Amino acid sequence: MSIAMRDAFGKKLVELGVTHPNLVVLDADVSSSTKSALFGKAYPERFFNVGVAEANMVDIAAGMATAGLRPVVNAFAIFLALKATDQIRNTICYNNLPVIIAGAYGGLSDSFDGASHQAITDIAIMRALPNMQVIVPSDSFQAEQALEYALTQQGPVYIRLNRNAMPDLPRAAAISTVKVTEGSDVTIAANGITASFAAEAAELLKKEGIKAEVFSVPMVKPFGIEAIVESVAKTGRLLTVEEHVLAGGFASAVSEVFMKRGISCRFDAIGIEDTFTESGPYIPLLAKYGISAENIAARAMALSK
Amino acid sequence: MSSTVKDLLGDVKRKFNAKELSALAAYFRTVMFETLYKSQTGHWGGAASSAELTTALYFNRLKIDPKNPQWEERDRLILSKGHASVNLYTVLAHRGFFPTEELETFRRLDSRLQGHPSMNSTSGVDMSTGALGHGLSIGVGMALAARLKGQKFWTYVISGEGCLNEGQSWEAMMSAAKYKPEGLVLMVDYNKVQLDGTEDEIMPMGCLASKLTSFGWHVAPTAYNGHDTASILDSFAWMDSDDVWPKAVIYDTVKGKGISFTENKSAWHGAVIDDDSYAKGIVELNADLAKKEAVL
């Protein structure tokens, strides 16, 4: 089990603060949750807790970016994506400013707080914005890679982070699509932390004689789709998995590419249906809304028939 | 163009005095009105309201270099009431940021002069605006960046009451009061008329100066006349009079200023200028310009 992404991200901010003197970090009164407080402790003069005011925070960061600073804004993913959409669109993205938007407690990971705090539409919103790059790390190592990558970019990057300690996955040298298991019967493309459930599903499928090729796909925009296209050419079957509503998210992004290129295959998508979620312990909550090794294996098996 | 204003515009690098600024602003109003008439789109009311403020900033106050528009140490100006874009473009063009002939392309396809200011399209625009209420937050960020980088530039934010209707402006007020960034100035172009009606009808501000003071701002003790350039220069002197931040100045202004039938009329927020209104309006604006040139 890895450390939680938020802990890894917070520590990485502190580490990068040494090498990046222009790195500044902003938070909206949730720094002890997002772990941006670690940076605040290390570099108080470069840390700005602006109170519960996400929209204001994003525009302050934009102003800082125009003057050569490299801001990272931190708040819960749902509130960044919804309360600060105007600021992210009209100031950050329209002007292509290099601001990193770190959406904490992504997906259902703020599980006990319930639907009001669970980000299930952030990926759809962020990937629709011109100039925005969208990264959904699958584990804490990828979260660190995402931050390092974002700091090399000249425009905005959204990084969706998870609250809880989740399993580690195989690593690649840079943030990109990672093949987690090799297989020839069905391709499973998993976004974010769902990749660890997909990896577990591959084990279950193996017992049934089905060889699943599982990918962790953190880069939603630009899209790390080529490995998936290659795999589907071999398997003819694709199951996508995401911790997000199906409308406009990862499955939508995959479908757009496949339809445009005329790639046909047997296809299914696991994600949150057109519904609000609820409070509960994280893993059972995910399972209730379809994200579990068992459900992924069952749906992959149905595709493979 | 009157030869007198033409003379002034031949020497734009120097600091102009109150009378000169007044003549320049009167001339810019004629250019703005003509540009909007030719474009058959855009916002006259708010642009006429801020004409003297922007003129005084760009021709007396701001530390800028049109030849080096991205100069890191330059003062920043955020026109948070971005619908007054034709005012900003007119002033920037005459200050030397881009050719004045380009004003004719305002709001046309492929133009650098977008409907609302766009920093990556137009030389001299420090921040894109249009959606109201963003400017002050962005200004806080710029001013804090100056502090962190050890730079001395000032950041001016021009807001109308439309901006102040937006809740974000008050988030920005609180954060500015917390961090007190040096060089941050809010200039309220207070014309008391919004898109749909008067401020009293749409959203009464109450005592704006008291509100700003209670939010922790250093507010000028008097409201200045935003169409009297001598009064505006007095407000600049007040800005320089102490080192208390952030500073706010309220300017009493008139929406649609300069033309009798457009003044204080919400309908002229964004009305298309028809032939008859242009013919009558330009006569009034030219008469005002002649009067101000005569006293130079």
Q: Does residue B3 register a pLDDT over 70?
A: no
Q: How far apart, in whole angstroms, are the C-alpha atoms of residue B259 and residue A39?
A: 56
Average pLDDT, stretch A186-201? Answer: 98
- Could you tell me how far CA B35 lies from the centroid of its own chain? 17
Average pLDDT, stretch B225-244? Answer: 98
CATH of B3-294, one of 3.40.50.2300, 3.40.50.970, 3.20.20.70, 3.40.50.300: 3.40.50.970
Report percent pLDDT > 70 for chain A: 100
Mind listing the pLDDT tens digit for each residue in A201-230? 999 999 999 999 999 999 999 999 999 999
**CB-nearest partner of B145 from A55, A59, A69:** A69
**Does the CA dihedral B107-B113-B114-B117 come out positive or negative?**
negative
**Closest Cα of chain B to A116: distance in Å?**
21
User: Over the Cα atoms of chain A, what is R_g?
Assistant: 19
Average pLDDT, stretch A242-270? Answer: 98
Q: How far apart, in whole angstroms, are the C-alpha atoms of residue B13 and residue B23?
A: 16
Interface test with B, best of A24, A59, A83 (most B CBs within 10 A): A59
Where in chain A is CATH 3.40.50.920? 178-304
Rounded to two decimals, the ipTM of the complex is: 0.97
C-beta atoms surrounding B213 within 10 Å? 13
Give the pLDDT score at A1: 60
**Closest Cα of chain A to B1: distance in Å?**
36
* Per-residue confidence band for A305, with pLDDT thresholds at 50, 70 and 90: confident
Q: How far apart, in whole angstroms, are the C-alpha atoms of residue A288 and residue A280?
A: 10
* Per-residue confidence band for A43, with pLDDT thresholds at 50, 70 and 90: very high
Give the pLDDT score at B2: 53
Q: Identify the architecture of domain A5-160 in CATH.
A: 3-Layer(aba) Sandwich (3.40)
Give the pLDDT score at B191: 96
Please provide the DSSP assignment of A133-176 as one string.
Answer: EEE--SSHHHHHHHHHHHTT-SS-EEEE--SS--------SSSS
pTM of the model: 0.97
Maximal C-alpha separation, chain A: 60
* Per-residue confidence band for A189, with pLDDT thresholds at 50, 70 and 90: very high
Give the pLDDT score at A2: 75
Average pLDDT, stretch B174-179? Answer: 98
| Region A178-304: CATH code | 3.40.50.920
Question: H/E/C letters for each residue in B226-291?
Answer: CCCHHHHHHHHHHHCCCCCCCEEEEEECCCCCCCCCCCCCHHHHCCCCCHHHHHHHHHHHHHHHHH
Average pLDDT, stretch B7-21? Answer: 95
Q: Does residue A96 register a pLDDT over 60?
A: yes
Where in chain A is CATH 3.40.50.970? 5-160
Q: Does residue A130 register a pLDDT over 60?
A: yes
**CB-nearest partner of B148 from A66, A69, A94:** A69
**CB-nearest partner of B144 from A55, A56, A64:** A64
* Per-residue confidence band for B68, with pLDDT thresholds at 50, 70 and 90: very high
Q: What are the sequence ranges of the domains in chain B?
A: 3-294
**Does the CA dihedral B4-B7-B9-B12 come out positive or negative?**
negative
Give the pLDDT score at A236: 98
Q: Does residue B1 register a pLDDT over 90?
A: no
